[in-house]
């Protein structure tokens, strides 16, 4: 498997299933593996792969499902995500395969490998596009917040598209060119603390915006925003079922999907073992769950039914020049930028595998693949009109496959346990849940599009 661009990463079992004794990086003969990524670094990398643009869309999901409904769904999706990681790591430990694509090949031959590669590519391109979409919409607002009202909207540096292109070329591209995922551990730790600061600000600012919301407010750009609100909208809803609820589970699936980064991180883990990697996954998902729920809850309790699909945009109208909002906007932007290279890593690996197969590392292929993927992502980020569209479509299709369907199917096909074993039953439940979630959510989303048109 070409886990990164300078080395092959294969498991050498040496007559044992203990990954602690397994050199993961080598050249195919007598691999000499030096120090790997630390436990803490891997936790930060995985949390960075989990958290990103999803944290900005979960308050909107809570407004569509209610507090209790959202909590139940978030617990369900996060628990199933951790369990599907358990199945992937168990298969990795049993077979010596440490690539999601190769597990697909082991289970379903070449079609399985191709399906996983395509799903990884589409999922990660969608994720990166959503991150850059946030940058396009948020960075001009962040700049406007530092300018006087009469100076806004006049300069090139307030054009989100221009800024997006510049930052992609100057920041995202150099980080995406790095050959090993472990190098991103330092930037991932910064991204985590930015997300933590985001959650703190959302909690604090809940008491800075009155409810009911003011009827007439002026945004940073000078536009008048008129809301129809009443006192009853200040009462939080525990359960909500509507057509908008169709976006909730896909958004959660999108927010917890880190499976494309699990095995690359596993391969670079210092003293790798299934237990250590599972602990990394559990800690990362647990901390992400906590930050997700807190930020979604207080974001919903601030705006109630008027939550924007991209949470921070709601603060422009009511706290346009608030210092904490301004700084958290910059923190989220930095976090998003630092996440894109990490998500780019498995996407590039999938492209190289699909187009070139197994081959020695080539800087030419590495550079061409990186530039091609980032070009597509940049075009999507520039032209996609609404981030909830990305969450809904990608979450209901590719995210549900990678998070639930594929791990369950691969486990049932590869594992030799009896079908009535606990993990076999759990794998079957994952498949059924993923298919039901994907079909139901995508159908509802299509219906909303038809009605909207």
pLDDT in tens, 392-412: 677 677 878 888 899 999 999
State the average pLDDT over residues 241-267.
77
What is the dihedral angle through the alpha carbons of 381, 386, 387, 389, rounded to the nearest 10 degrees? Answer: -110
Contact 310, 57 (CB under 8 A): yes
Q: State the SS3 of 399-451.
A: HHHHHHHHHHHHHHHHCCCCCCCHHHHHHHHHHHHHHHHHHHHHHHHHHHHHH
Which position has the token pair 């999901």?
A: 61
pLDDT in tens, 162-200: 888 888 888 888 888 877 665 565 666 777 788 888 889
From residue 104, alpha-carbon distances to 246, 311, 352, 404, 417 in Å are 29, 37, 16, 14, 18
Q: How far apart are CA 268 and CA 32, in angstroms?
A: 13
Q: Which residues of 412-425 are buried (b: 16+ CB within 10 A; e: fewer)?
A: bebbeeeeeeebbe
Which string of DSSP letters, residue by residue, matches 102-125?
Answer: HHHHHHHHHHHHHHHHHHHHHHHH
* Helix, strand or coil, per DSSP, at residue 90: helix
Q: How far apart are CA 77 and CA 79, in angstroms?
A: 6
Percent share of the chain, pLDDT over 90: 11
> Pairing mode, if any, of strands 216-218 and 224-226?
antiparallel
Q: 34-452: which CATH topology?
A: Amino acid/polyamine transporter I (1.20.1740)
Which position has the token pair 């693949």?
A: 369
Q: How far apart are CA 48 and CA 225, in angstroms?
A: 35
pLDDT in tens, 362-388: 888 888 999 999 999 988 888 877 666
The whole-model pTM stands at 0.75
pLDDT value of position 28: 32
Which string of DSSP letters, residue by residue, matches 124-187?
Answer: HHHHHHHHHHHHHHHHHHHHHHHS-GGGTT-SGGG-HHHHHHHHIIIIIHHHHT-S-GGGGHHH
State the average pLDDT over residues 424-444.
86
**87-91, 136-140, 299-303: which has the minimum mean pLDDT?**
136-140
Task: Please give the structure tokens belonging to residue 190.
Answer: 């910064």
pLDDT value of position 17: 37
pLDDT value of position 428: 92
User: 449 pLDDT exceeds 70?
Assistant: yes
pLDDT in tens, 186-245: 666 777 788 888 889 899 888 888 776 665 554 544 454 545 555 556 778 888 877 677
pLDDT value of position 431: 92
Contacts of 72 (CB under 8 A, 6+ apart): none
Contacts of 422 (CB under 8 A, 6+ apart): none
Task: Please give the structure tokens belonging to residue 227.
Answer: 């809301």
Q: How far apart are CA 394 and CA 101, in angstroms?
A: 19
Longest dimension (CA), the chain: 72
pLDDT category at 280 given cuts 50, 70, 90 is very high
Q: Which residues of 11-31 are buried (b: 16+ CB within 10 A; e: fewer)?
A: bbeeeeeebeebbbbeeeeeb
274-303 and 185-204 helices, crossing angle to 10°:
30
Q: How far apart are CA 220 and CA 160, in angstroms?
A: 14
pLDDT in tens, 323-338: 888 888 888 888 778 7
């Amino acid at each position: 498997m070409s886990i990164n661009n300078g080395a092959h990463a294969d498991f050498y079992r040496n007559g044992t299933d203990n990954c602690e004794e397994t050199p993961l990086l080598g050249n195919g003969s007598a691999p000499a593996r030096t120090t790997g990524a630390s436990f803490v670094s891997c936790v930060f990398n995985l949390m960075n792969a989990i958290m990103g643009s999803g944290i900005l869309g979960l308050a909107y999901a809570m407004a569509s499902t209610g507090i209790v409904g959202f909590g139940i769904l978030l617990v369900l999706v996060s628990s199933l995500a951790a369990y599907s990681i358990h199945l992937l790591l168990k298969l990795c430990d049993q077979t010596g395969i440490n690539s999601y694509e190769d597990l697909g090949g082991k289970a379903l031959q070449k079609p399985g490998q191709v399906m996983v590669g395509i799903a990884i590519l589409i999922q990660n391109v969608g994720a990166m596009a959503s991150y850059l979409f946030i940058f396009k919409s948020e960075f001009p607002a962040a700049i406007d917040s530092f300018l006087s009202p009469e100076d806004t909207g006049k300069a090139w540096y307030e054009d989100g598209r221009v800024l997006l292109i510049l930052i992609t070329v100057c920041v995202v591209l150099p980080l995406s060119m790095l050959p090993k995922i472990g190098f991103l551990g330092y930037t991932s730790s910064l991204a985590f603390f930015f997300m933590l600061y985001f959650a703190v600000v959302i909690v604090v600012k809940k008491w800075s915006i009155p409810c009911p919301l003011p009827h007439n407010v002026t945004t940073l750009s000078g536009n008048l925003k008129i809301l129809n609100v009443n006192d009853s909208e200040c009462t939080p809803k525990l359960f909500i079922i509507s057509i908008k609820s169709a976006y909730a589970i896909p958004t959660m699936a999108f927010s917890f999907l880190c499976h494309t980064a699990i095995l690359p991180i596993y391969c670079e883990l210092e003293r790798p073992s299934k237990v250590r990697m599972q602990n990394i996954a559990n800690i990362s998902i647990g901390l992400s769950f906590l930050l997700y729920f807190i930020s979604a809850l207080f974001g919903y309790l601030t705006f109630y039914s008027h939550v924007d699909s991209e949470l921070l945009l709601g603060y422009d109208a009511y706290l346009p020049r608030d210092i904490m909002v301004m700084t958290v906007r910059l923190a989220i932007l930095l976090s998003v930028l630092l996440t894109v290279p990490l998500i780019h890593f498995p996407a590039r690996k999938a492209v190289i595998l699909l187009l070139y197969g197994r081959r020695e590392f080539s800087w030419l292929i590495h550079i061409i693949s990186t530039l091609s993927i980032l070009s597509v992502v940049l075009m999507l980020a520039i032209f996609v009109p609404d981030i909830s569209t990305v969450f809904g479509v990608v979450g209901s299709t590719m995210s549900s496959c990678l998070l639930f369907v594929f791990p369950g199917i691969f486990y049932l096909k590869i594992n030799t346990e009896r079908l009535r074993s606990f993990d076999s039953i759990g794998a079957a439940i994952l498949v059924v849940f993923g298919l039901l979630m994907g079909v139901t959510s995508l159908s509802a989303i299509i219906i909303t599009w038809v009605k909207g048109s």
